[in-house]
Amino acid sequence: MSGFFGSISKVDCVADVFYGTDYHSHLGTKRAGLAFLSKEKGIQRAIHSLEDGYFRNKFENDIKNFSGNSGIGVISDTEAQPIVVNSHLGRFAVVTVCKIVNYDELEKYFLDKHHTFSETSQGTVNPTELVAMLIAEGDNFLSGIENVYKRVKGSCSMLVLTEEGILAARDKLGRTPIILGKKEDAYAAAFETCSFSNLGYEIDKFMGPGEVVRITADGYEQLRKPNEKMQVCAFLWVYYGYPPSFYEGINVDECRYRCGAALAENDDVKADFVAGIPDSGIGHAMGYSHKTGIPLKRPYSKYTPTWPRSFMPQSQNMRELVAKMKLIPNKSIIYGKSGVFLDDSIVRGTQLKDNVHDLHEAGIKEVNMRIACPPLTYPCEFLNFSRSRSSLELATHKAIKKLEGNEGVAFKEYSDSNSEKYKAMVDVIREELGLTTLTFQTLDDLVKAIGLPKERLCTHCFDGSSYFE
């Protein structure tokens, strides 16, 4: 995933964009970038790797030399951005949150027209540069953005920094969000509303799917009306979002609380404590604990002052070591006790398996795992969702292969929580992870906890139901 922030102000906006972008650091781990526009200096840009440090440390020297009344920033899990372009539309900079499934086709399209690419992303064409080139095919910025909507298969939300203001364009099916904020002398656009409050912004508008607005320091104007259909990613509430943030007017942590309560509704397990797997499991655990009356405790603490995120190092062995070293068990709570543990999801299960092993080493009697979403059975086609390089790494697919003996099976029965195949798959996952019991959230309960109609949510990774358009 990635996240972005943009601001345009009647005064200098560098500090707002710097801190607003930093509040998206939980969404990306590879690259970050800032771009500012001023009459004196034009477009100024800086891009740094985040694989060996944190956003603030990397950019604190850059911002001393930046100035401008408008700017955009991005935290990315993939490519280097913002991309700065000089075209017949003028000079502009663009940041994206996107997954372009058909980038091979689009790359060939431009190469056949004798165009060149100057940026690379992990050995391939940089998707954000591809988006910039599609924009530049338009007669104006709006028609260029429409060209992106028409040509890109997957998803794409973007901020475009121009001399006439910042254009905010949400993905045509709204798979990822853009929210507008305002304060007395500035307007902003962000992926996460948690970036607003400490900078003095208030939420002003949740942009609709496919909607395009031009933002200036005095306000914003709608350039394209939103589409009727929406497929916003359900996993935003379960895992990606930061607890104080809102999507579609629905708070992340309140949703997680409801998820935990739903898991407790039909659960009769006896336990000494409830715990959330840090960090996103904590809100789910609060809901479960309140519903059942089982006390909420911390069987281990996450030590973060000196340890970077577990997925930052390139080596899988190093990622696993960092993940282990961050979690310090508290044997006083664990030894001889039975616990219910809440987590957002099981992707590969590798890290969870290690955590469970450590709990057993600390003398726990029972590990009852409750997962806030259904099993991840279908690979995501629409977002840079899973870090698994192959769907075969998914815990569900490994379990299905063990049961079926091959890969080429229909997943429909395995995603039906009432089927015998589903129950068998869950039991294989439970046994592989060393759990006493394992329960996943039902899709109906997840949809109810979020509070949007099922048809307005993308639940593809759970039931394979979503679509390209």
Which of 345, 325, 333 is CA-nearest to residue 233? 345
Higher pLDDT pick, 48 / 302: 48
Compute CA 99 distance to the chain's CA centroid, rounded to the nearest angstrom.
12
Q: 391: how many CB neighbours lie within 10 A of its CB?
A: 15
Per residue in 103-127, pLDDT tens?
Answer: 899 999 999 999 988 876 667 889 9
Contact 178, 207 (CB under 8 A): yes
Angle between helices 281-292 and 252-265 (to 10 degrees): 50
Give per-residue pLDDT as tens, 212-231. 999 999 999 999 999 999 99
Q: What is the value of pTM for the model shown?
A: 0.93
Question: What residue spans define the domains of the chain?
Answer: 3-230, 251-458
Q: What percent of the chain has pLDDT over 70?
A: 93
Q: Which of the 8 DSSP states describes residue 78?
A: S
Q: What's the pLDDT tens digit per position in 50-65?
A: 888 889 999 999 999 9
pLDDT tens digit sequence for 156-213: 999 999 999 999 999 999 999 999 999 999 999 999 999 999 999 999 999 999 999 9
Band (323; pLDDT cuts 50, 70, 90): low
Q: Is the pLDDT of residue 311 over 60?
A: no
Q: How far apart are CA 78 and CA 3, in angstroms?
A: 11
Is the pLDDT score of 306 beyond 70?
Answer: no
Please state, in angstroms and rounded to a whole number, the distance separating the CA atoms of residues 191 and 177: 6
3-class secondary-structure state, position 33: strand
- C-alpha pair distances (Å), 98 with each of 102, 220, 323, 383: 12, 23, 28, 7
CA atoms within 13 A on the CB side of 11: 5
Contact yes or no for 249/256 (Cβ under 8 A) = no
Whole-number Å distance between alpha carbons of 437 and 289? 17
Q: Which CATH architecture has domain 251-458?
A: 3-Layer(aba) Sandwich (3.40)
Three-state secondary structure readout of 183-251: ECCEEEEECCHHHCHHHCCEEEEECCCCCEEEEECCEEEEEECCCCCCCEECHHHHHHCCCCCEECCEE
Instruction: Band the pLDDT of 322: cuts 50, 70, 90.
Output: low
Q: Are 89 and 41 in contact (CB under 8 A)?
A: no
- Across all residues in the chain, what is the average pLDDT? 92
Secondary-structure class of domain 3-230 per CATH: alpha beta
pLDDT at 118: 85
pLDDT score at 389: 46
* Residue 192 phi, psi (nearest 5): -110, 125
Supply the pLDDT for residue 305. Answer: 61
Using one digit for the tens of pLDDT, what is the confidence trace for 374-405? 999 998 888 875 444 456 689 999 999 999 98
